[in-house]
Amino acid sequence: MTRDATEPVRKLPDGRWRTRATIGYHPVTGKQIRKMRTFPANHKREALKWFRENSVSTDSSVAYAKMTVSDAVDNWLKSLAIADKHPNTLRNYRDAIGYLRRDMGSSKLTAVGTTNLIGWVEELRKSGGSRGQALSSETVRLAVNTAKMVFEFAHTAGWISRDPAAPVPTPSQKRTPQKQQQKKQKQWRGWTVAERDLFRAAAADHRLHGLFLLSTLGLRRGEVAGLRWTDIDFDANTIAIERARVEIAPGTDEEVPTKTERSDRTLPLPEDLAGVLRVMKRRQQEERLGLGVSWADDSYLMSVETGEPMRVRSYSQTFARIVKRAGLPPITLRDLRSVSVSLMRSEYPAHLIAAWHGHSETLMKDTYTNVHRDDLAAMAQTMRVVAHE
C-alpha cells in the first residue's frame, strides 16, 4: 500500500511513527529549516500533535505574508554579519537603514510598492530629520541606497515576487554655490612640521602621551586602541600591531582584526618614544596600585586609571581638546595619519612610508626580509618624536 504523500507522519517497519516538520526559514537563503521526531508505536496521535504545533506553512506566499520591512532589515543585517563585514561598515549600514525602519518598519514587506518608496524618498528630502528638518542629499542618498539593498536582498531570497525599489532613482548630490564656498573655506590643509611638533608638546603632560605620539606617526585610531602592553618588546624596541579596537555602536567598542592583512606589522620604536612608553607603563601601574587594582600585562595601553579600556570615542575627544587648547587648526585622528604620510615624504622613500603605515604589498610577500626590517629600523632611528625645549 502506497503511503499518502500528504500524510504528515509515517509508520516505520518496527511500528514507530516518524514525522518531519518545517519549523522555520533560513534568514539568508529563505530555505526551509526542518526537524524530525520519532515516536513510539501506538503514539501516532502524539506525533500528529507535535507536527501541528511545530510546523509553519511551506507555502511561500503564506510563509512570508506576515514578514515586515523591519524583519527584512534584520535579516539583511544578519547576512552582512555572516559575510564578515567590518564592524564600522555594519554600523554605517545600520545607521543609514534606520530611516527605512523608522518610517516603514511595521509595513508588510509584500505590501510595499514603488510608489510608496518614491513618496518616502520625497519625505526624507523635505522633512526626514528627527525634528522635521530636511535631510542632506548625502544622508538621503545613503538611506535610499541601503533601502534598495534590503529590497534586492528580499527579492533574491524569494520573500517578494518583485523588487519595488529597483525603479527608484538614487538622489544625486547637489551643492549650491554657497555650499561650495563653505566647503572651500573648510577645506583641510593639514599640519606643518611645526604644528605637529606643537601638538606633541601640548600632549606631553597627558597620561596617554605615548599614544598620541604613536598617532602622530600614522597609526590608525583603531590600531592604537587595540594595543596591549604585551605587544611592546622593550628589549628589542619594537611594537606589534596585530589587532584593532573600534566603535561598533554608540558606547560600544569591540576588538577586531586590523583593517587589512597588510596592516599587521611590527614596527621599530624610535628611541625617545620607547622611553615615553616605559614611563607611561610605570604611571599606569602606579595608578592601579593606588586604587588597589591588580596589574595585567595584557591590558590595553588606551585605558582609564582603573585599568578599564578607554572608549575609542573618548580618545578622539581628548585629542580634539588638546588640539583646541594648543590653538592648532582642527583636524581628526584620521587627518593626523595623512599628516604623517605627507610629512614623511620629504625624508623617506615611498616604499618605507607605505610599509610603516601598513599599506605596502611587500608586507604580504616573502620579499619582506630582514633587509626591509633593517631599513625600517634605520628609519626609526632618525625619528625624533618627543618635544624638546
pLDDT (tens, 9 = 90+) of the chain, 389 residues, equals 445 445 789 999 999 999 988 776 665 555 677 889 999 999 999 999 888 877 755 545 455 678 899 999 999 988 887 777 777 788 888 889 999 999 999 999 988 999 999 999 999 988 888 888 888 888 899 999 999 999 999 988 888 888 999 999 988 766 545 555 455 445 556 899 999 999 999 999 999 999 999 999 999 999 999 999 999 999 999 999 999 999 877 778 888 888 777 788 999 999 999 999 999 999 999 999 999 999 999 999 999 999 999 999 999 999 999 999 999 999 999 999 999 999 888 888 888 888 888 875 444 343 334 446 777 777 777 787 776 54
Whose CA is closest to 356, among 344, 339, 369, 371? Answer: 344
- pLDDT computed for residue 136 by the predictor: 86
- pLDDT computed for residue 365 by the predictor: 41
The Cβ of residue 181 has, within 10 Å, a number of other Cβ atoms equal to: 11
Quote the cell numbers at residue 337.
Answer: 595619519
CATH 1.10.150.130 maps onto the chain at: 69-174
Residue 304 CB partners (closer than 8 Å, separation 6+): 310
- pLDDT computed for residue 232 by the predictor: 96
Question: Phi, psi at residue 232, to the nearest 5°?
Answer: -105, 125
- pLDDT computed for residue 80 by the predictor: 84
- pLDDT computed for residue 103 by the predictor: 93
Quote the cell numbers at residue 323.
Answer: 588640539
Quote the cell numbers at residue 85.
Answer: 563585514
Residue range 193-381 forms a domain whose CATH class is mainly alpha
CATH 1.10.443.10 maps onto the chain at: 193-381
Q: DSSP assignment of 104-117, as one string?
A: HTTSBGGG--HHHH
Strand partners, 240: 266
The Cβ of residue 300 has, within 10 Å, a number of other Cβ atoms equal to: 23
Whose CA is closest to 107, among 146, 156, 57, 160? Answer: 160
- pLDDT computed for residue 51 by the predictor: 86
Q: For residues 343 and 314, what is the distance between their CA atoms, to the nearest angstrom?
A: 27
* Per-residue b or e along 212-237, where b marks 16 or more CB atoms closer than 10 Å to that residue's CB: bbbbbbbbbbbbbbbbbbebbeeeeb
Residue type at position 353: I
Residue with cell 604611571: 283
- pLDDT computed for residue 57 by the predictor: 52
Whose CA is closest to 312, among 231, 256, 241, 260? Answer: 256
Apex CA 292: angle with CA 289 and CA 296, to 5°?
65
- pLDDT computed for residue 175 by the predictor: 56
Match domain 69-174 to its CATH number in 1.10.1040.10, 1.10.630.10, 1.10.150.130, 1.25.40.10. 1.10.150.130
Strand arrangement of the beta sheet that strand 265-268 belongs to: 232-233, 238-241, 265-268
Question: Which 8-state DSSP code applies to residue 247?
Answer: E
Q: For residues 262 and 368, what is the distance between their CA atoms, to the nearest angstrom?
A: 11
Whole-structure pTM value: 0.61
Pairing of strands 265-268, 252-256: unpaired
Q: Where are the beta strands (DSSP E) in the chain?
A: 9-11, 17-25, 32-39, 232-233, 238-241, 244-249, 252-256, 265-268
Residue type at position 193: V
